[in-house]
């Protein structure tokens, strides 16, 4: 791939944005490569957790300037198709069967902030700034809005989306965009240690089903959500992972008592 590096080590799939000279800005080709590599990682039996990271000073600066100029000549139908291209990537990451951790070593702005938003966990360095800056250039943070409101709630999302302001450190955490701020020196090891804890301690099937339920249960009426939850609970009880995990728990309990 031209703009992406992909590697696997110790059951972690590493997806690295590799367009540092353009601050890893998004264009059609980069989005296409991301879609392809996330699919590859999702079906790879050697991968249990995915880490999305980037080379260079910025995590992702949003849309490429040359690409934005190109879009000005598009018809409505062409712009709609292009918007769906990005929508499909965000939806793919949000609903991916495997947990995705964003390792943010620099600024994540506009579409780049959206890219981090749809990941399941976000770890960032203190210097990284986040912002949905589209309103400052007459644009709309349309696609990420759907996911951001789900993630942090309407009021917090409204402030970030309408102000377009850049936020950093403490506010990024308190707003719910970032899970943890980590020094640049410790970012990589901290993220990988967290990934390994998920790999060693948690069932892959349980992670997949829990992530799937989080995405789906929010759109259901209360009674249907509870019935859906009961159904998924019953299905999980019949799984091999459940039976193995429960037996291991019971064996430990017997030893303790």
Q: Which domains does the chain have, with CATH numbers?
A: 4-199 (3.90.226.10), 203-256 (1.10.12)
Give the separation between CA 195 and CA 99, rounded to whole angstroms. Answer: 9
pLDDT given at position 251:
61
pLDDT given at position 236:
83
Mean pLDDT per block of 10 residues along the chain (257 residues) reads 97 98 95 98 98 98 86 91 95 98 97 97 97 92 95 96 93 96 98 98 94 94 95 84 64 52
First to last CA, the chain: 56
pTM of the model: 0.92
List the catalytic residues. 134
Judge whether 187 and 224 are in contact, CB under 8 Å. Answer: no
**Per the structure block, which two tokens stand in for 210?**
């829990």
Give the separation between CA 50 and CA 41, rounded to whole angstroms. Answer: 7
pLDDT given at position 252:
62
Distances (CA, A) of 250 to 81, 183, 243, 256: 53, 40, 10, 10
Residues listed for the chain: 257
DSSP H helices, the chain, are 28-43, 65-71, 76-95, 111-117, 142-152, 154-163, 169-174, 184-201, 204-217, 222-237, 240-256
pLDDT given at position 65:
83
pLDDT given at position 243:
67
pLDDT given at position 98:
98
pLDDT given at position 253:
47
Closest to 183 measured CA to CA, from 103, 114, 113: 103
């Amino acid at each position: 791939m031209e703009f992406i590096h992909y590697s696997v080590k110790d059951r972690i799939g590493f997806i690295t944005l590799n367009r540092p000279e353009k601050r890893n800005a998004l264009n059609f080709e980069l989005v296409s490569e991301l879609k392809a590599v996330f699919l590859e990682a999702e079906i790879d039996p050697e991968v249990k957790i995915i880490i999305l990271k980037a080379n260079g000073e910025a995590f992702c600066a949003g849309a490429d300037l040359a690409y934005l100029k190109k879009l000005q000549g598009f018809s409505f139908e062409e712009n709609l198709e292009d918007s769906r291209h990005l929508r499909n990537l965000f939806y793919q990451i949000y609903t991916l069967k495997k947990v995705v951790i964003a390792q943010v070593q620099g600024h994540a702005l506009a579409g780049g902030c959206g890219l981090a938003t749809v990941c399941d966990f976000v770890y960032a360095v203190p210097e990284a700034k986040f912002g949905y800056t589209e309103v400052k250039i007459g644009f709309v943070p349309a696609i990420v809005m759907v996911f951001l409101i789900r993630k942090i709630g309407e009021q917090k999302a409204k402030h970030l989306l309408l102000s377009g302001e850049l936020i950093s450190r403490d506010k990024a955490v308190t707003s719910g965009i970032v899970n943890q701020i980590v020094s640049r020196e410790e970012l990589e090891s901290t993220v990988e240690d967290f990934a390994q804890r998920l790999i060693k301690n948690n069932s892959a099937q349980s992670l997949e089903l829990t992530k799937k339920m989080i995405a789906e249960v929010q759109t259901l009426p209360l009674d249907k959500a509870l019935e859906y939850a009961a159904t998924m609970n019953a299905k999980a009880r019949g799984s091999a992972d459940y039976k193995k995990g429960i037996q291991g728990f019971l064996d430990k309990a017997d030893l303790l008592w």
